[in-house]
Amino acid sequence: MRKLVVILACGGLLAGAAACTSSSRLDELTWCEQVAEVECRWVYSCCNVGERLTLTGLNAHEESEPTCRAQLTAACLDEWAVPLASIAAGRLSFEAETADTCLDTMRTMASQCPTKREDVDECDHVVAGRVGVDGECAYDEECAGQARCRRLGAGASGRCYDKAGQDGLCESSLDCQDGLFCYQGTMPQYVCVAIPTVGPGDACNGVTLSCDQGYYCESDSDTCEPQKASAESCSAQSECQEGLVCEYTGRCGAGLGVGQTCSYSQLCAAGLYCDTTVDECTALKTSGATCYSSAECDPALYCDSNDRCSSRRAPGENCTSGNGSCQEYYACQPRGNCQARGDVGSECYTDDQCLERLECNPDSRICEMEPLKLPAGSFCLESSACESGKCSSNECIAFCTGEG
């Protein structure tokens, strides 16, 4: 399950939870209070007044560490309500040992006052699903292991089912086990396959042949080339080394920092967005801060109807279509609540209401398979399956081959 609290540190993004105090008992009921206490202690130990005001969204008259704790506790409880209900129902368990490891790591990082913090894997797993295959579920995290929760119809309860392994049938990559993705290969059906990685100089296509870490697929030659260092020329983000962005100058760089002039958010460094009212890179906003669009808020938040950054809505909660108000992997469905994205045949109005690799048919208003076009050299049965629109001798061929 994804981390339950996100807050900004001075100059960068803090993602995850923080350490609990050694005198407090850590369980699902005390989690939010302990997170808020240590996160706010971090902010008030490491940040100056201006940074604190930006991070908390408080004004100078109400800004204080106790107010910070109260605000962050409330934001955490808002997001923690659904998991708490699942724990009480026996469909989730709180993993105290894993949470302790997460918090100990966060404590160590916090003591160093870093400008940004790396994700910690344990912080993604402070709860674990307890529902077995064919058991009733409300959302994916309630299912044990790699199983998923699938609803069979509008208003129906979900059932946990095993994710497919290599060559298993799928409708989206969420149906596949970790490390596999859903791809239409040599058959009409979509199947789960591993993305083979290739090394420097090898042929690639970014779909079925992906480059090893540290390399990118060069579009002109379709070969793997080393990612570029700072100041080297680029035309896409994938060409730059990790931690760099492809800047407006056409060169890889660290991205624009706080206060630097920008024209759109992709130019700003991680944890920042481009404030177009002043054309400057600014720290992403935390819960409760004033906003005009969800792009200004931390990724775990959205800009609500009161123009405040708020926690994304949990499955089953009311929502408004089009503003990104639902949690990751969920969408605001036609009946006005957050539900898992629709499978084939589900009612829809927009593509984001359908699972990955599905599209909303504008005429029938149902989710359908989105055709995946195959690159030149792929096995094919008909021309419509190929990017070029030409299938010859069961092989997709390029547009200009001289063939009739």
CA atoms within 13 A on the CB side of 174: 20
Nearest by Cα to 83 from 38, 135, 31:
31
CA distance 152 to 239: 42
Domain membership of residue 397 (yes or no) is yes
H or E segment and range at residue 319: none
How long, in residues, is the chain?
404
Q: Which residues contact 95 (CB under 8 A, 6 or more apart)?
A: 125, 126, 127, 128
Structure tokens at 269: 């460094």
**The model's pTM:** 0.46
Structure tokens at 29: 């009921």
Give me the pLDDT at residue 135, please: 92
Domain membership of residue 224 (yes or no) is no
pLDDT digits (tens), the chain, 404 positions:
334 444 444 433 333 333 333 445 678 788 888 878 878 887 888 888 877 777 677 777 778 889 888 888 888 888 888 888 999 999 999 988 888 887 787 777 777 776 555 566 777 788 999 999 889 988 888 999 878 887 655 455 788 888 888 888 776 666 777 767 776 555 556 778 776 677 888 887 655 567 888 898 887 788 899 999 988 988 887 888 887 878 777 888 888 888 888 877 667 786 788 888 888 888 888 888 888 888 888 877 888 888 888 888 876 677 776 667 887 667 787 767 777 677 677 778 887 787 655 778 888 888 876 655 677 777 777 776 676 667 777 777 765 433 43
17 with 123, same domain: the answer is yes
Domain membership of residue 268 (yes or no) is yes
Domain membership of residue 109 (yes or no) is yes
Give yes or no for a contact between 260 and 281, defined as CB atoms under 8 angstroms apart: yes
Question: Residue 323 region, left (φ>0) first, then alpha (ψ -120 to 50), else beta?
Answer: alpha
User: Domain limits at 247?
Assistant: 231-283
Give me the pLDDT at residue 117, please: 54
379 with 273, same domain: the answer is no
Give me the pLDDT at residue 2, please: 36
Number of domains in the chain: 3
Domain membership of residue 300 (yes or no) is no
Backbone angles phi, psi at 314, to 5 degrees: -80, 165
CA distance 251 to 267: 11
